Structure 1
Amino acid sequence: MKNLLTTLVVLVFGVAVATAQGLAQETTAAAPDAGGDPFTEAFFAEVAGIPLGEAEAALVKGGDLVLAVHRNTQTMTVYNGTPAAIVNGLAEVYTVPVTTRVVQRSSPQDKDAMTRDTFVTAKNISYYPTQLPAGTYKLDYSTQDVAGYGPGIHIDAYVDTTVKNKEGKNESKKMNDYFVHGTDLDNTWGCVGVKYGNMSRVMNSYHRSYGPKILTIDAYSPRKSPSKRHN
């Protein structure tokens, strides 16, 4: 949670950094390990003790939205609330199952491969489906339907993708057709697929949010038992 808050503050709430630095300097004497750095365990412990006022308490759900995708567990944790609510543990937080995989279950290819080794075609473009690289992305708009899977949230990502040009040769192109959307499959063509009917809840959180909206996605960690991901 503390790491997530650090990312949120640095990327989205830059205007609060000066204030945070001032608070950190004031608390350095009481917490010498903080070293004046506003993004330390000591600093967040101090923030966590600040009580919410009535106005803030009324807005704990809403505020900002963070969709944190965990690739190893194929889950996504949703954080929806004001920064103060998130720090104080009062924001809406829940986890849903997702798929980030692009390789079909029936394929002999490694199921965690970042790029599928067979072409698919959409909107007259043939390309190798490619997973989102690890990183942080803005969620910039929603739509009522994504490829027949219902409502979705667009991810503002431009990903290098191998496509087949008019001459039938492979070339690299940056693709921007990435969404968070519902699915009943074990793979997508690069999007984050929310499984088992949980997309409506994610959409409710998205529409309730009135602040910045971001998605974070991590990388696969080293495998301890590779065979499990090939089943």
Structure 2
Amino acid sequence: MFYTLPKKIQLEASQAKWTLQSHQSLLVVLGLEALMLLPEWEKSEIYQNITKIIRKAKALDIPFIELKDHQDMTAMMRLGEQSNLRHQFILAGYITPQTKYLLDYFAAMTSSIAVVNDAIYVQHLAQHVQWIYTISHQKYHHLNCYTLMRLWSLSAPKHLILSHKGIVLAIAEHLNLEPLEIDPNINLRLLGLDSVAMVSLVGLWRANGADIDYDNFQQHCSVNQLLQILLLQ
């Protein structure tokens, strides 16, 4: 059912020129319920990528709207409300013939629309490649989930990254857990936090002005210990 996602070289280069900013972003995931009904959904690469960007959006306080279709009036109302505050629409999810009309609707609200090209499902690989080609020539932006998450992190406000909420959500993101699932006093390595994740978190916090290194992290490897170090600076 799920195809191998196209490589970057197979996709038309994005022709959009605007710069993505986390504080302007709104994540819209199309047809998530329908995707969840497909066989082997949770084993697919698309599932992994959509899950990653949703967790990253939560970690950076970026609004996330799940849109079933163009008749999902509740989600459409939320979208309209958020569009007054945020002007960059980031799209992922199930691409259907209706998506064209949704893109036209979104374009009436903003000129800054980006598709996460490895977090969409378009029935077949050839259709996936063709759809990205089409939207590229319509001046819509597209990028992969790694680039999206990197740009979100780089543009996130310092006060958010080093807040209680931001710290806990960043840890939860790397553990693939919800914040409430994490015992704040347990050693995070016992929950699966590896050295790669620790280096990534240290890099994020240091880039935003925190005085912490890998050795500090190893010696203070619970949520509560990290909060004491990071929030008292």
Which has more strand, going by share of residues? Answer: 1
TMscore range, shorter length: under 0.3
The structure where helix makes up a greater share of residues is 2
TM-score for both structures, normalised by structure 2: 0.21
Structure of larger gyration radius: 1
* More contact order relative to length (CA 8 Å, sep ≥ 6): 2
Report the TM-score, using the length of structure 1 for normalisation: 0.21
